[in-house]
Structure 1
């Protein structure tokens, strides 16, 4: 079994979603199926088929979340000794060596990744290039569009 790395906040978000699916969505869907059954012929009952599809999706997501949580490796970065090195959970400020633009990324688990919030998966090309490096190091990110050169400006473990 492979462990699924995630931050403390990521685990809490998955647990919250699981609770909502079990305690709110599941009962609502069961009620919708029961109501749709009362309308008669199930072969031509669109509400029934839509509710069954929702139930299938919800049950699949519940199983997926339970698997991920049972195999979670929750990493609390505040307890790690880091000394300026890039680790899982760190926020890294980068300077693009070509055009001097700055960008910050936080390295998180796959389920937490959200590029719009500058949270990247630990398995992404950028994160793989950064992990283990230190402030001041230059890194090469092997991107589909070509190599990108960054300098690590600072590493924060918040």
Structure 2
């Protein structure tokens, strides 16, 4: 069995100004703060002699590779992202950046913001625009039905409110 795995499909290349700021801050934190600390600890560990049995050296080098890989990924990703900072002229429809209030068939209400795949976090009620629910909502208006196929079957939601807010970055 080979170790080949096909490359993942790229996510959409849109991001909110807040998401871009967070990614740039992560790059800065990794490159300016964490990497120099790990480099110093690896340098100290290297002075201790036999590197083949030196855990601090081995794990420090591994962490440096992880940091470099993440910084390289984020740098490339930031180059190809498009920051969407403007509110659409038609605010009656669901577009990128919208806060959408939904109601399911049981009357339970949810609110999600549609954001890029690099910044979604369900604990913050942000939903990737590549997710099935967000794809079903895009372009819909207030009082429209949204059908989403889930492993449990088809789920029906109703859009009860759409709002946009200006980013303060």
TM-score normalized by the length of structure 2: 0.88
Q: Does the Cα contact within 8 Å between 1:3 and 1:71 map onto a contact in 2? A: no
Q: Distance in 1 between matches of 2:84 and 2:152?
A: 32
Within the candidate set 35, 54, 78, 2:44 is matched to 35
| Unaligned segments of structure 2, at least 5 residues | 1-9
TM-score normalized by the length of structure 1: 0.94
Q: Distance in 1 between matches of 2:106 and 2:140?
A: 21
Q: Distance in 2 between matches of 1:143 and 1:75?
A: 29
* Moved beyond 3 Å, runs of 4+: none
2:16 equivalent to 1:46: no
RMSD, aligned α-carbons: 1.4
Q: Distance in 2 between matches of 1:35 and 1:129?
A: 54
Q: Distance in 1 between matches of 2:130 and 2:69?
A: 24
Structure 2 match to 1:124:
131
Give the 5 Å matches for 1:21-32: 21-32=30-41
Select the structure that is richer in strand. 1
Note closer, same or farther for the CA distance 1:116–1:56 as it changes in structure 2 (3 Å cut).
Answer: same
Q: Distance in 2 between matches of 1:144 and 1:65?
A: 32
Q: Does the Cα contact within 8 Å between 2:99 and 2:111 map onto a contact in 1? A: yes
Give the 5 Å matches for 1:1-158: 4-78=13-87, 80-96=88-104, 98-158=105-165
| Unaligned segments of structure 1, at least 5 residues | none
